């Protein structure tokens, strides 16, 4: 049944997400054309191309924000509003519904990050007149060089970036999911209380992270001047970043699951 839920959720969210990706692709194509024209003509055309690149960066940021807002609102509306009555009539556990929405939403958020990266690569290939293999080769070389400095394979460093991005997607969504779940415990203004709870959870997460980092900073401060100490600290910081994200994922997920299973109260 979970597979059916995943397929239904992908179909439900995919309609809007495909529209966002289409706008992103169209904006990339337009600014690439402007970049080609500006690079060859110069003058006013070059100014228009520069303005187009600035507009493109703003467009990409706005599309990413729109993607995040849509995924959050889709979760809220399909779980805690009148629309949620149909969702919760399905013959499945509440936890399975939560899992389906969480994994699909995180997947689309990560896919949006990947799409943005691909579009930037394509934009660079078109405007700079280089092949995609050259840009990917340069990126691989950069990871290899950084990995050599940290005494880890470049592939491991690239995997770390991917895992960090995936965990970041889950944390950013679960903060909202947990917040709006807490909001359902309020008797009035559940949506407003949910937003306030999400902000509070984010604040507490930042404070908690700082409290964990300060002792670690004191422990490793004396190793900064030792041979290989900086490399060791950076490697521990990388592992610590993943562990911290996994910890907050577990916390926010537990809040969401408990409330959805035991305290569900639709508007």
pLDDT for position 103: 93
pLDDT for position 91: 66
Question: b/e string for 129-168 if b means 16 or more Cβ within 10 A?
Answer: eeeeeebeeeeeeebeeebeebebebeebbebeeeeebbb
pLDDT for position 173: 94
Within 13 Å and on the Cβ side, how many CA atoms surround 185? 14
Burial of 169 (0-12, 13-18, 19+ CB in 10 A): buried
In sequence order, the 6+-apart residues with CB closer than 8 A to the CB of 52 are 30, 31, 34, 35, 38
How many Å apart are CA 77 and CA 187, to the nearest integer? 18
Q: Is 223 helix (H, G, I), strand (E, B) or coil?
A: coil
Q: What is the dihedral of CA 138, 139, 144, 145, to 10 degrees?
A: 70
How many Å apart are CA 259 and CA 219, to the nearest integer? 38
pLDDT for position 169: 93
Q: Is 3 helix (H, G, I), strand (E, B) or coil?
A: helix
Q: Structure pTM?
A: 0.82
In sequence order, the 6+-apart residues with CB closer than 8 A to the CB of 38 are 45, 46, 47, 48, 49, 50, 52
- Note the residue count of the chain: 267
pLDDT tens series, the chain, 267 aa:
667 778 888 888 888 999 999 998 888 888 877 767 765 555 555 666 667 677 888 888 899 999 999 999 988 888 877 665 566 566 678 788 888 899 999 999 999 999 988 887 777 776 666 666 666 776 777 777 776 776 777 777 788 889 999 999 999 999 999 998 888 887 777 778 888 988 999 998 888 888 877 776 666 655 555 555 566 667 777 788 888 899 999 999 999 988 887 755 555
pLDDT for position 172: 93
Question: Nearest-CA neighbor of 257 among 100, 94, 103?
Answer: 94
């Amino acid at each position: 049944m979970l597979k059916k839920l995943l397929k239904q959720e992908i179909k439900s969210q995919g309609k809007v997400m495909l529209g966002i990706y289409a706008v992103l692709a169209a904006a990339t194509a337009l600014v690439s054309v402007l970049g080609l024209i500006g690079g060859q003509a110069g003058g006013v055309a070059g100014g228009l191309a520069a303005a187009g690149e600035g507009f493109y960066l703003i467009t990409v940021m706005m599309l990413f924000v729109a993607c995040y807002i849509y995924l959050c609102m889709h979760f809220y509306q399909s779980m805690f509003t009148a629309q949620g009555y149909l969702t919760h009539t399905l013959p499945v556990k509440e936890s399975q519904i939560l899992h389906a929405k969480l994994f699909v939403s995180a997947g689309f958020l990560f896919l949006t990050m990947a799409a943005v990266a691909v579009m930037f690569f394509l934009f660079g290939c078109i405007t700079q007149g280089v092949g995609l293999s050259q840009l990917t080769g340069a990126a691989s070389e950069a990871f290899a060089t950084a990995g050599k400095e940290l005494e880890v394979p470049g592939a491991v460093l690239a995997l770390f970036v991917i895992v960090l991005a995936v965990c970041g997607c889950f944390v950013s969504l679960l903060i909202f999911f947990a917040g709006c779940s807490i909001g359902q415990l309020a008797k009035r203004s559940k949506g407003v209380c949910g937003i306030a709870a999400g902000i509070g959870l984010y604040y507490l997460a930042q404070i908690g992270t700082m409290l964990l980092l300060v002792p670690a900073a004191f422990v490793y401060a004396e190793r900064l001047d030792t041979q290989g100490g900086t490399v060791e600290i950076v490697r521990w910081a990388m592992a610590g970043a993943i562990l911290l994200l996994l910890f907050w994922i577990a916390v926010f997920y537990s809040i969401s699951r408990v409330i959805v299973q035991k305290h569900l109260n639709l508007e």
